[in-house]
Amino acid sequence: MSDLLEVANLGKRFGGFVALDNIALSVRAGERLGLIGPNGSGKSTLVNCICGTLRNEQGSVRFDGRVIDGLPAHRRTRLGLARSFQLPRPFVSLSLMDNVRIPLLYTVEARGAHRAGAAIDDHCHRLLREVGLEAKARALPRDLTQVEMRKLELARAMAAEPKLLIADEAMAGLTHSEIEDILALLVRLNEQGVTVILIEHIMRAVMSFSRRLVVLVSGRKIADGLPEEVMRDPEVERAYLGQ
């Protein structure tokens, strides 16, 4: 299989602070990749650079065979690169239906699918059903619980019909059964052919989901490999538990 995402020598600074230092990372199509690291290690910055929310000063990102450096975020989403935000960022004045309708209108339709309003409505319902929010289709985001908000965040990312989905801490603060729900959803997506990068602090979730694990510490990648092996890596242990 070819590489879907290829990050080479990626560097990002905030003033004098080096947030990302020479990151190299390739992800094959269909992979389930876990990305972990302590707070402030650069995980979200990496996601932001890959998705175009931030500009990287150094290095390059290739996606699906083309260099996407300099492309604005919405163009990357259209190419098939979707992400959920660490803190849910729903469109607060739009109903849940309309929240998932946006990527349909602006991403899927922009790729050339021209469907009637009713077909798009059906699609919105189907997406909400998949995350168990169909009953609240007409509700506003502020009527949702935390877990529902995170599900909406995922549904909106899924609506863009991505090739690669980056879930940025989709499970923080959730209970065990809620975590199971979301994991099952991600696994299902992956089985449908979507490559998934999972950024997570909850190790149980990361270990059960990931087929490969990457560890970031202080903006550097210190490990990359099979999850069990990575967790036994003395450098990873040191980063997490101290010496």
Which parts of this chain interact with another protein (CB under 8 A)?
36, 38-39, 44-45, 48, 51-53, 72-75, 77-78, 82-83, 85-87, 89-95, 98, 101-103, 105-107, 109-110, 138-142, 156-157, 159-160, 169, 172, 201-203, 240
Nearer to another protein, 109 or 122 (CB): 109
32-36 β-sheet, strand order: 81-84, 164-168, 195-199, 32-36, 212-217, 220-225
Whole-number minimum distance, CB 1 to another protein, in Å? 26
Nearer to another protein, 8 or 91 (CB): 91
Nearer to another protein, 54 or 185 (CB): 54
58-63 β-sheet, strand order: 17-28, 3-14, 58-63, 66-67
End-to-end CA distance of the chain: 39
* 8-state DSSP, 227: H
Q: Rounded to 5 degrees, what angle do the CA atoms 36, 30, 178 make? A: 55
Nearer to another protein, 191 or 226 (CB): 226
Nearest 10 degrees: Cα torsion 81, 83, 89, 92: 50
Whole-number minimum distance, CB 156 to another protein, in Å? 6
**Distance from C-alpha of 85 to C-alpha of 198, rounded to nearest angstrom:** 12
Nearer to another protein, 57 or 109 (CB): 109
